[in-house]
Amino acid sequence: MKSALVKLLLVISCAVCRKPKPVEPSHPVTHHVHLEVQTDEKAPETLIVGLYGNLVPKTVNNFIALCEGTKIEDKHYSYVDSAFHRVIPNFMVQGGDIVNRNGTGSISIYGGTFEDENFKAKHKKGVIAMANRGPNTNGSQFYITTVATSWLDGRHVVFGELLEGEYTLQAIEATGTDSGKPSAQTIIKSCKVKKL
């Protein structure tokens, strides 16, 4: 009896500890981006995002340049040390204010904002898309969905999706509130791009 119980507990614990399988992307992925994030004083964790460089090259080039750090109008901008400033449970986590670092600023490598490329990729769970203030106002802010959000299709450009780090995304989402102001601060500590 004890041996059967021990075996059952082992099977259950292995199932719980198993890492989720990497996601099969919806569109061809041209780059992997490793976002190392840290919530308050916890150990850093990683989100791996696949980018759709063939589908929306201008949007992807903007995101990559801001990941790697770039000069815009003689000032250096990077996602490093920026926060996920807006987190709403059962919706999304939003970051990318590299201007004011509080959710009010946005800039692109093209100067100011740039146009919506297309809306071919749809808002399923785990996509990364451009936050905007209306049509053709893309800058640096982005969000990652934690559920399918089809009502955003045709309004925000999806340019990639989460491939690994679902538990990390859930941990960020857990800091969210209905108002969007997170209960803990999650910062992007590093951003590494790998071209495939």
pLDDT of residue 5: 44
Question: For residues 72 and 36, what is the distance between their CA atoms, to the nearest angstrom?
Answer: 24
For residue 8, the tally of other CB atoms under 10 A from its CB is: 10
**pLDDT score for 142:** 99
Give per-residue pLDDT as tens, 88-125.
999 999 999 999 999 999 999 998 999 999 999 999 99
Task: State residue 9's pLDDT score.
Answer: 45
By the 8 A CB rule, do 148 and 123 touch?
A: yes
Q: Specify whether the CB–CB gap between 56 and 70 falls below 8 A.
A: no
Quote the CA–CA distance of 28 and 113 in Å, as a whole number. 26
Query: Which residues in the chain land under pLDDT 50?
Result: 5-16
Q: What pLDDT score was predicted for residue 26?
A: 80
Tell which CATH classification among 3.40.710.10, 2.40.100.10, 3.40.50.1100, 3.40.640.10 matches the domain 23-195: 2.40.100.10
Q: Dihedral of the CA atoms 180, 182, 186, 188 (nearest 10)?
A: 20
Q: Which of 180, 122, 110, 106 is nearest to 156 (CA)?
A: 122
Q: What is the pLDDT of residue 111?
A: 87
Q: In b/e form, how buried is each residue of 139-153, taking b as 16+ CB within 10 angstroms? A: bbbbbbbbeebeebb
